[in-house]
């Protein structure tokens, strides 16, 4: 029997002389080989197509260190003082507005309290003077009355005393005016009566003179009538003179009443002007005193970490303007100072995306943070220890940009080291695989 090779391929004429079982087996083998071949070719071409389409990031790598985007905060106090309480220690994490150190505030507080009491007294006095200057009623709203209770009561009593004194003066003048009006009325009535009496006596005297000439009337009777006429004439003249005098007196009294009101208002206005000036002065002096009281509580201006404390003793003296503590801000967006080799700087520019991986946190567990290139140094910097040149590239990050939520919950502190991957572009996988081949081809046959 003829033996055939394991990989021999039979044509159709050969298969005609084989048994049906052998024929079927050989036909299946040929078909499977073709299917396998086409599958391999399809996979190869599919992979090539995918490699020519699929893109991956081009990365420029660098090592960096975390720095705060804002400068180190140096805490000082303008006036200084004696330390009453220390709330924090070096290394503590503080929030913006947290109390760090409390200084003694006895002196500024007592001065401020004295100013406050004086201010409230003048404010209550202002209400009284306003009412007196306008001849109105003393009126203060409920809230202000409660706030200035003791002073308001005192000024209200002074208002009623001054108003009662004015009313008393006006009442006296009014009584005098009424008295003069009565006298004027009596004087006018007297003038009227005396005028009538004078007319009668004048007629009698004229008749008596006529009768005297005829010898009917005696001289003594005539003289008597003359004396009566003269007396009435004198009384009439006096009565007539009293009328303008009384009218003038009434006018003067009325003017005096008006002047009393004017003097009352002018006095209030003058005092009000002085009172307002004093209020302004006290208010102006209260502002720095209030600030001084507030400054006795040394508050953290930022969220950060206490780097250094220069005062550590309760009872210690803080000199005006001296450094009290240093805080490293952490709430701001952070910057990564990254060292990039000069050979890798060509395609870097501000705004490029970067992935920051912190050495302190395992990237496989915590992930990294997405940042962007913020600033690139204009020239290389030389590391004096390693004698290497590099460009300093600053990458801005924020904890809200953490890839993994776990990283957003941890503390990123200035000084931490990190690996920075800056995305400079994209390439297909095929381009990456072809790069060494193209490079080798360009360098082929160029060596000596």
Predicted confidence (pLDDT) per residue in 172-194, tens digit: 999 999 999 999 999 899 889 98
Burial 397-409 (b: 16+ CB within 10 A, else e): bebebbbeeebbe
Please state, for a pLDDT cut of 70, what percent of the chain lies above it: 82
Which of the residue ranges 196-200, 260-264, 309-313, 389-393 would you say has the lowest mean pLDDT? 196-200
- State the pLDDT confidence band at 142, using cuts at 50, 70 and 90: confident
How confident is the model at residue 393, as a pLDDT? 93
- State the pLDDT confidence band at 2, using cuts at 50, 70 and 90: very low
Residue 221 main-chain phi, psi, to 5 deg: -65, -35
Residue 288, Cα to own-chain centre: how many angstroms? 17
Find out whether 306 and 88 touch, Cβ atoms under 8 Å. yes
How confident is the model at residue 443, as a pLDDT? 62
How confident is the model at residue 431, as a pLDDT? 63
pLDDT higher than threshold 80 for residue 145:
yes
Q: Across 37-46, 303-312, 397-406, 410-419, which has the greatest mean pLDDT?
A: 303-312
Find out whether 80 and 332 touch, Cβ atoms under 8 Å. no
Q: Give me the CATH topology for the region 55-69+333-428.
A: Elongation Factor Tu (Ef-tu); domain 3 (2.40.30)
pLDDT higher than threshold 50 for residue 15:
no
pLDDT in tens, 366-415: 888 888 898 899 899 998 888 889 999 999 887 677 777 778 778 787 78
How confident is the model at residue 251, as a pLDDT? 93
Mean per-residue pLDDT, 296-316: 89
pLDDT higher than threshold 80 for residue 120:
yes
How confident is the model at residue 54, as a pLDDT? 64
Higher pLDDT, 302 or 209: 302
Average pLDDT value over all residues in the chain: 82
Mean per-residue pLDDT, 325-335: 79
Mean per-residue pLDDT, 137-152: 86
Q: Measure the CA–CA gap between 79 and 115, rounded to whole angstroms.
A: 19
Query: Among 334, 340, 325, which residue's Cα sits nearest to residue 416?
Result: 334
How confident is the model at residue 9, as a pLDDT? 47
DSSP bridge pairs for 436:
none
pLDDT in tens, 244-298: 999 999 999 999 999 999 999 999 999 999 999 999 998 888 887 788 888 888 9
Residue 250, Cα to own-chain centre: how many angstroms? 64
Q: Measure the CA–CA gap between 69 and 330, rounded to whole angstroms.
A: 9
- Alpha helices by DSSP H, listed for 85-148, are 106-133, 142-147
Mean per-residue pLDDT, 416-421: 91
Find out whether 128 and 160 touch, Cβ atoms under 8 Å. no
Residue with tokens 């997405």: 370
Residue with tokens 């083998």: 29
Q: What class has domain 108-296?
A: mainly alpha
Question: Cβ-count burial of 384 within 10 angstroms (0-12 exposed, 13-18 middle, 19+ buried)?
Answer: exposed
Sheet holding 323-329, edge to edge: 73-76, 323-329, 304-309, 93-94
Residue with tokens 């072809």: 434
> How many Cβ atoms from other residues are within 10 Å of residue 356's Cβ?
26
How confident is the model at residue 40, as a pLDDT? 81
pLDDT higher than threshold 70 for residue 330:
yes
DSSP bridge pairs for 292:
none
pTM score, whole prediction: 0.50
Residue 65, Cα to own-chain centre: how many angstroms? 36
- State the pLDDT confidence band at 4, using cuts at 50, 70 and 90: very low
- What separation in angstroms does the CA of 134 have from each of 91, 155, 264, 267? 65, 16, 10, 12
pLDDT higher than threshold 70 for residue 331:
no
- State the pLDDT confidence band at 438, using cuts at 50, 70 and 90: low
Mean per-residue pLDDT, 294-321: 88
How confident is the model at residue 7, as a pLDDT? 45
């Amino acid at each position: 029997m003829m033996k055939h090779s394991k990989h021999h391929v039979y044509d159709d004429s050969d298969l005609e002389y084989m048994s049906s079982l052998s024929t079927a087996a050989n036909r299946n083998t040929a078909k499977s080989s073709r299917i396998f071949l086409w599958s391999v070719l399809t996979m190869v071409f599919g992979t090539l197509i995918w490699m020519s389409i699929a893109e991956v990031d081009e990365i420029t790598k660098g090592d960096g260190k975390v720095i705060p985007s804002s400068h180190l905060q140096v805490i000082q106090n303008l006036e200084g003082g004696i330390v009453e309480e220390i709330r924090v220690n070096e290394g503590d994490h503080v929030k913006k507005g947290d109390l760090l150190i409390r200084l003694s505030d006895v002196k500024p507080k007592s001065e401020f309290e004295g100013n406050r009491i004086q201010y409230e007294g003048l404010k209550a006095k202002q209400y009284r003077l306003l009412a007196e200057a306008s001849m109105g009623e003393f009126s203060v709203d409920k809230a202000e009355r409660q706030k200035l209770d003791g002073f308001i009561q005192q000024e209200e009593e002074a208002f009623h005393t001054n108003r009662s004194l004015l009313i008393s003066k006006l009442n006296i003048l009014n009584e005098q005016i009424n008295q003069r009006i009565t006298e004027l009325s009596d004087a006018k009535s007297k003038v009227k009566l005396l005028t009538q009496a004078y007319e009668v006596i004048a007629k009698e005297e004229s008749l008596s003179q006529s009768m005297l000439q005829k010898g009917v009337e005696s001289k003594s009777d005539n003289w008597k009538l003359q004396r009566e006429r003269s007396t009435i004439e004198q009384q009439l003249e006096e009565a007539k003179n009293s009328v303008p005098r009384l009218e003038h007196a009434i006018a003067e009294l009325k003017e005096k009443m008006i002047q009393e009101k004017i003097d009352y208002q002018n006095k209030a206005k003058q005092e009000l002007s002085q009172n307002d000036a004093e209020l302004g002065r006290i208010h102006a002096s209260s502002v720095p005193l209030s600030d001084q009281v507030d400054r006795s509580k040394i508050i953290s201006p930022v969220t950060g970490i206490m780097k250094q404390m220069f005062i550590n003793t309760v009872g210690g003296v803080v000199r005006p303007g001296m450094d009290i503590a240093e805080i490293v801000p952490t709430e701001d967006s952070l910057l990564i100072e990254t060292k990039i080799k000069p050979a890798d700087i060509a395609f870097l520019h501000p705004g490029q995306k970067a992935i920051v991986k912190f050495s302190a946190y395992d990237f496989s567990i915590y992930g990294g943070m997405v940042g962007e290139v913020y600033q690139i140094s204009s020239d290389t910097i030389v590391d004096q220890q390693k004698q290497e040149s590099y460009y300093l590239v600053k990458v801005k990050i924020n904890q809200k940009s953490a890839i993994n939520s776990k990283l957003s919950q941890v503390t990123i502190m200035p000084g931490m080291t990190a690996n920075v991957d800056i995305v400079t572009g994209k390439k297909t996988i095929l381009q990456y695989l072809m790069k060494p081949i193209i490079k080798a081809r360009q360098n082929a046959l160029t060596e000596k």
